[in-house]
Structure 1
């Protein structure tokens, strides 16, 4: 009996240590919503890209028309920014609701560590994407975003629910494969940021949020 109580005490101590070092209030539904936003964005981006390619084919636009290139690049950047903003706002709201439900703090040492370790690879990748745009390597933006986002998830997994590292690994692999299929970046982007977020968010919701 004493041995059983001893093991129970150890388990409780480990759980308390885990809660104090990891931010475990991430909402699975926020992942699902981020995936839906990404699929909507991919659909809109595909529409603009198809319009642009049609104008190239019909010679309405010259392949060397820098203003037209800048226009399509700007539209895609705006779409990506809006998706990110919507995902962040939704994530904060849903995670805040889950944290209150679990009587946990939304902003503490564990959430700060999570944010820092997630943001560093993400910001680095964003700056590198701007360099790619500057150098006109547009075809490498989609794989670059996938790879750096995946690295951000892997890096952040040490400070939150560990399952997020699997989403990161899948996105890194998807990004590497995407780099070998130039011209199909929008489809890989939709898979990595859209489909996989919905799958991951659903699993996390069923595994953690419904308890």
Structure 2
């Protein structure tokens, strides 16, 4: 009997240590909505390119700027939605939304993402935009893997998938648009749904 109590105490201590060092209030629903935003944004970008530029995306053209604005809006809406839903979840569970673990999560997520974003802007300025989709997937995947040690470990699997899709995209750049849709759209919806039922829905 004492042995069982001892093991239970160890398990509880381990859980408390894990919660104190990891930010576990990420919302699965925010992942689903991020995927939906990505699919809508991709549909708008596809329509712009096909309808107005006959399938050719000019770097210095109006269509290109509209596509960049479209991507920015997708990223902005995804970030805002994630912040709102994660804050709501943290408040419900009584967790602190901005503590040491959440700061570590944000910093480790942003480092690869910001570096990747700057690099992508540099090569776009050099009119080398054939690998943009691959680079977005790769740096986003690296950001997820880098941040996973300070949050729910399951997000690293999404990161690995994004990295693999990015490598495939680099090898087959002609399919970049559809691999981007798969990575940022469909995989986010699948991942978000899985996380929602695993962590958000009370059993």
TM-score by length of 1: 0.92
- By how many angstroms is 1:186 displaced? 1.4
Q: Tell me whether 68-77 or 199-208 shows the greater mean CA deviation.
A: 68-77
Q: Which residue does 2:20 correspond to in 1?
A: 20
The 8 Å contact of residues 132 and 140 in structure 1, kept in 2 or not, is answered as no
Q: Which residue does 2:148 correspond to in 1?
A: 157
Q: Which residue does 1:35 correspond to in 2?
A: 35
- Match for residue 62 of structure 2 among 60, 68, 71: 71
Residues 1:192 and 2:187 are matched in the alignment = no
Within 5 Å, which residues of 2 pair with 1:1-211? Answer: 1-54=1-54, 69-211=60-202
- Partners of 1:79 and 1:89 in 2: CA distance: 15
Q: Which residue does 1:59 correspond to in 2?
A: none
Q: Post-superposition, which runs of at least 4 consecutive aligned residues in structure 1 deviate over 6 A?
A: none
The 8 Å contact of residues 53 and 63 in structure 2, kept in 1 or not, is answered as no
Aligned length: 202
- Partners of 2:166 and 2:100 in 1: CA distance: 32
Per-residue deviation, residues 78-137 of structure 1 (Å, max 9, x unmatched): 111100110011101111111011110111110000000000000011001101101111
Per-residue deviation, residues 124-178 of structure 1 (Å, max 9, x unmatched): 1100110110111111111000000000000000000000001000001101111
- Partners of 1:34 and 1:72 in 2: CA distance: 23
Unaligned runs of 5+ in 2: none
The 8 Å contact of residues 116 and 136 in structure 2, kept in 1 or not, is answered as yes
- Partners of 1:176 and 1:75 in 2: CA distance: 27
Q: Which residue does 1:60 correspond to in 2?
A: none
CA RMSD of aligned residues (A): 1.5
Unaligned runs of 5+ in 1: 57-62
- Partners of 2:128 and 2:55 in 1: CA distance: 21
| Rg (Cα) greater in structure | 1
- By how many angstroms is 1:184 displaced? 2.4
SS state of the match for residue 179, structure 1? helix
- Partners of 2:126 and 2:158 in 1: CA distance: 30
Q: Tell me whether 44-53 or 197-206 shows the greater mean CA deviation.
A: 44-53
- Partners of 1:138 and 1:184 in 2: CA distance: 14
Q: Tell me whether 143-152 or 47-56 shows the greater mean CA deviation.
A: 47-56
